[in-house]
Every structure is written in C-alpha cells, then in structure tokens.
Amino acid sequence: MSLSPPPVARPLALPMIRLRLAVIATLVLLLIGFVSIVWTPYPVDQLDALAQAQAPSASHLLGTDALGRDTLSMAMKGILTSFVVSAVAAAIGLFIGIPLAVAAARWGLVAERLLIGGAGLFLSFSALGIAALLTAHFGPSALNAMLAVGLFNIAVVARQTREDLRAFQGRDYLAASRLSGLAGWELARRHVLPSLLPLLGATATAQLAHGVLLEAGLGYLGLASQPPGSSLGLMLRDAQSVMLFEPLPMLVPGAALLLIVVALQVVARGLRQEVKHAA
C-alpha cells in the first residue's frame, strides 16, 4: 500500500480574494453608517468654539473641524448619508430603467433605437445639471440629490440592461420556451429576468458607487445635504479653510469616500466576472 501525501488545498484566486475583501469593507462601512443612527461620539450639530480644528486627542479621536465639530461623528453621519442617497437613487434607476429596457426588447428594433437614443440624449445632461435645475426650483437638499442622481441612473441602467439582454438573445432554452408557447412578459418573467439577476446586482452595485461619488460632488458644491446635516462632500468643502494646518478634517472624508467607491466597484466587477465564468 503506497502512502500518498494529503491533497493540498488550492489557494483562492486573487479576484475572489479581492471580491471578499471588498464585500467585507462595504459591510463594515455600512455598519458604521447604521451605528450613527443611534450613536455618535458627539452630536453632529454640536459646535465648540474652543475646540476648532484640533488635532486628534483622547476626547476627539480624529480631531475636530473648523467649527469645532467632532470629525469622527461627522464622518459616521456622512457615510450614512452617502449610502442612503445612493441607494435611493439606484432604486429609482432600477425600478424605471429595467422595465424600459425589457419593453424595448419586447417591442423590437424601433423601440430599442428610441431607448438607446433617448438614453444617450439624457446622459448628455449630467447629474450636476439636473441637480442645479432642481435646486433652482426647490432649494438644495438631500432629496434633490436623490432625484438628480436617480434620474441620471434611469438612462444608465436602461442602456446597461439592454446590453445584457442582447447576450441572451438566441439562447437555445429561450427558443424552446417560445416553441412551448411562452412569449412576451411571461417569457421574460420565467427565464430572462432570473438569468439577469446577477448582472442586475452588478449594475445596481456599480450605480451605488457612482451615486456615492455624485452625492459627494453635489454636497461639495452645496447642492445636496445642508447643515446641520452631514455628508462627505460637505465635510470636504468645510475642511478647505483648515487643510493647511490641520489636514485630518479633509483626509478622513476623502479616505472614506475612496474606500466606499473602490469597494463597491470591486464588488460590481467581481459579480460580473463570476457571471461570465459561470456562463
């Protein structure tokens, strides 16, 4: 009887490791944001004229900003705002963009051309332009940021979903389903949409990342959340006055913004790669 060495476990592929690390980072950031709903080290609207632009200390772990507000507390609330605004905006894009793409695929070439042309025309107007129009009528707010990014997402999601639908055209199981009598919305509900779910998840995750960036940009320009609320973009704008002698009020929201966007983008790319490998 020959003794053979025990099988050696194959190491995880680098893309899978990156995907898992990105998922963990996203969940940790989400947890930080949700914790801020019930607890922050200091109230975000608490101003302290005697503690303006202070360095990290035992009482303020990440220091304070130019108005004496605790940087850690502001960052926690800012992370929550980023996720909420981007999640609502992504939901708007998904719930309107996906049906538009499915309808265009159902109604034929003319509808597809109208969809692609309309999406391209709409994408020529940036979320910043849409937010500026909303702000001119209703004033700056987080709600306007949600609507602006959400309307922008509709065109992005509709175009991406239509491209994903093209990959399923001509599949044998769809032809067999048509021969069995399935057609239209019933065919889409039973076979097309379930196969699209992983790709839709990747699209939604990518739109979350884009939404976080757009919300930060709108906040920086004063078109989104307003004081006493907090957002990462608003923190970056307020930190400009003290960045030369106290950089943490700018570095903290900048690092949080970078980590959120990179983690979400890695997750979105990883999901698409997993779908391609499975196919």
Distances (CA, A) of 227 to 28, 77, 207: 26, 12, 26
Instruction: Encode pLDDT of 9-31 as tens digits.
Output: 444 577 788 999 999 999 999 99
Is residue 40 within 8 A of residue 76, CB to CB? The reply is yes
Distances (CA, A) of 238 to 2, 100, 111, 135, 230: 72, 40, 47, 20, 11
pLDDT for residue 194: 74
Give the up-direction half-sphere exposure of residue 187: CA atoms within 13 A in the CB hemisphere: 20
Amino acid at 254: G
Q: pLDDT tens digits for the chain (279 residues)? A: 445 555 444 445 777 889 999 999 999 999 999 999 999 999 998 888 888 889 999 999 999 998 899 999 999 999 999 999 999 999 999 999 888 887 887 776 667 777 777 777 777 777 778 888 888 788 888 898 999 899 889 888 988 888 888 777 666 666 666 666 666 666 666 667 777 888 889 999 999 999 999 999 999 998 888 888 889 999 999 998 888 888 999 999 999 999 999 999 999 999 888 877 765
Distances (CA, A) of 55 to 62, 93, 168, 210, 241: 7, 41, 56, 32, 15
- Sorted by sequence, the CB contacts under 8 Å of residue 78 that are 6+ apart come out as 230, 231, 232, 234, 235, 253, 256
Distance in angstroms (rounded) separating the CA atoms of residues 184 and 187? 5
**Nearest Cα to Cα of residue 257 among 205, 203, 211:** 211
Distance in angstroms (rounded) separating the CA atoms of residues 18 and 265? 11
Domains in the chain, CATH or no CATH each: 68-278 (1.10.3720.10)
Torsion angle of C-alpha atoms 91, 97, 102, 108, degrees rounded to 10: 180
* β strands within the chain, DSSP E: none
